Structure 1
Amino acid sequence: MKGRVALVTGGTRGVGAGIARALVEAGAEVVVCARRPPEVPLPGVEFTAVDLRDRTAVHDFVGGLPRLDVLVNNVGGSPYRPLGGDGDGGADVERHARVIELNLITPLTVSLAAYEHLKRARGSVVMIGSVSGSRPSPGTAAYGAAKAGLEHLARSMAVEWAPDVRVNTLVVGMVRTELSHLHYGGTDGLDAVARTVPLGRLAGPSDIGAAAVFLASDAAAYISGASLLVHGGGERPAFLDAATANKGGG
C-alpha cells in the first residue's frame, strides 16, 4: 500500500481505528474523518473533523483531497431501538430513518464524492457491512436493513464503476472493542458470547483491518463485487442446541 492514500470514515475508534492502523502498517497514507477526533492518538493518521451527514461538507472535504486511492466506508452503527418501541409513530420513524441515513445514505454520499479521485487512481472502495444484513436483527432492524442495502449497493457499484474502480464489502461479525460491554455485558457476558462463535472468540479490530487491507491491495486485484465474511465461522444454528438439550432430557 506504499504511496497510496486511504480515507477511512468514522475511523477514530473500534473497527475504524483498527482499519486505519492496519493501512498505516501496510504503508498507506491514511486520512480519517468523523465528527470528533480520536480519544486515543492514532500514529501516522491525519484526522479531519467532518459531519458525514452533511452532504455539502462531505463533497467539499473529499473533493479537496489532492489524491485518493482507497475509500473505506466504515461509518455506521445503531443503538438498540425496537420497532414501535416508544409509542410515538412519527418520532419512531424519524429515529429509524436516521439509522438508515448513517449506515446507507452516508456511504453512498462519500462514495459519489470520491468517484473522480478513485477513477483516476484506478482505486477501490471497501464497504464495512455486517452479518446483521443477512439475518433477522430484532432491536436493530433499521440497521440490519441498511447493511443489507449497503451490500447490494456495493455489488451494483462494482458493475457500474468497472473496470476503473473495484468495490467490495467486508461482512463483519461480532468485534471486541472498547464499547463491547455496552452490547454484551461485562467480562462474563463477552466470554459467553465468544463461546457462540465457532473460532471461540470475538474478532479484534486488527482482524477487520487485515481483511480491509487485503481487499484494498493488489492482492485482490481481480476481486470486485464480492462480500468477504469476517465472522469467525458464523453462528451456531439455535436448533442444534435445542436438539442437544432434548436428547439430554430423556
Structure 2
Amino acid sequence: MATSLFVTGASSGIGAAFLEQVPADVNEPHTFSRRPADGRWTQVDLGHQRQWETVVSAFKQALDAEQPDHAIFFHCSGGGDPVGRVVDLDPLEYGLVVTMNAASGIALGQAFLRACHLRGMRATLVLTGSPAADKDVPGMAHYCAAKDGMQHWGRIVAMEMTPESGNRVITVVPYAVLTEIVKSVMTKDPDEVPLVNYFRHVETAGEFASPETCARHIWTAIHEASNGAVVPVGALVIAERAAAAAS
C-alpha cells in the first residue's frame, strides 16, 4: 500500500528530524520551505499567500502521479520572530509571520483534505500546535493566537471527518523542544518576553527534548493516534506536569 508524504518547514529542527525517520514504505517526501530540505524540495515562503498555490498544485500533481492509498501532510512551518511588544515590532515582518502561523496551515490543510477527498484517497493531516496556544505570553501575542486558532480549526475539521472515510486530523503539541525558534526566543530580553526565564529554567534542569526525540513521537502519533487526537510530543515529562496542573 503506497503512502504519499508532504511536509512544510522541513529544512531544520523538528521537520528535518521528521524526514530522517520516514519509514521505508512511504514514498519520497515532497517538501516545502524557504531553505533547502531533503526530499523533493520546492522553495516557498508561506508568509506570502500567493506562494500557497505552488503547494496546492504539488498536492494534486503528486497524488495523481503516485496514486497512493494513503496521503500524509505534516504542516510543520512556523516562525517566532519578530518577538517583543507589538508596539516595538515592524508591521511588515509582523504581517508575514501572522500569515504563515495563523493562516497557511488552515488554508493548505483544507486544500490537502479536499485534494484527497476528490480522488478517493485516505488522508492524514498533522498540524503542529503549541503549549502556548491557550496561554497569555507577553512578547509572543501573534504566536499564541495563531496556534490557538489553528488548533481550534483542527478540532472542528476532525469532527467533520466521517469514520468510514478513514481520514484523520491530528494535532501534535511539541513541549520544550530545542528548535531554532526556541533558541531565538532565549536571546530576547526577559523583561519584554517573560518566556525567556522559563526556557532558561528548562535548560538548567536539562529537560529540553531534541528534535529527533520529538520526531519519533510524531511518527508514533501518525501510526497510532485517532482522528481528532491532540498528542503531546517532545519533553513528555513537562507535558505530564502541565496536564497534572490543569486537572
Whole-Å Cα distance in 2 between the matches of residues 125 and 175 of structure 1? 21
Residue 157 of structure 2 is matched in structure 1 by 157
Instruction: Show CA shifts across 1:91-134 (max 9, x none).
Output: 54x54443221112101121122123433221211101111112
Q: CA RMSD in A?
A: 2.7
TM-score by length of 1: 0.75
Residue 105 of structure 1 is matched in structure 2 by 103
Instruction: Show CA shifts across 1:194-239 (max 9, x none).
Output: 345xxx421111222122212222x33xx111211224333779xx
Whole-Å Cα distance in 2 between the matches of residues 83 and 95 of structure 1? 11
Q: How does 1:221-240 map to 2 (within 5 A)?
A: 223-230=226-233, 231-234=235-238
Q: Post-superposition shift, 1:70?
A: 0.3
Paired residue secondary structure (1:229): strand
Instruction: Show CA shifts across 1:144-185 (max 9, x none).
Output: 100011111111111123333200101112212366543335
Residue 78 of structure 2 is matched in structure 1 by 76
| Closer, same or farther: CA 139–208 of 1 in aligned 2, 3 Å | same
Give 1 or 2: higher helix fraction.
Answer: 2
Count of matched residue pairs: 217
**Residues 58, 113 of structure 1: 8 Å contact kept:** no
Paired residue secondary structure (1:147): helix
> Any gaps of 5 or more consecutive residues in structure 1?
238-250
TM-score by length of 2: 0.76
Q: How does 1:64-213 map to 2 (within 5 A)?
A: 64-66=61-63, 67=66, 69-79=71-81, 80-86=83-89, 92=91, 95-119=93-117, 120-163=120-163, 164=165, 165-177=167-179, 180-184=182-186, 192-195=201-204, 200-213=206-219
**Residues 72, 127 of structure 1: 8 Å contact kept:** yes
| Closer, same or farther: CA 134–26 of 1 in aligned 2, 3 Å | farther
Whole-Å Cα distance in 2 between the matches of residues 63 and 7 of structure 1? 11
Whole-Å Cα distance in 1 between the matches of residues 133 and 97 of structure 2? 13
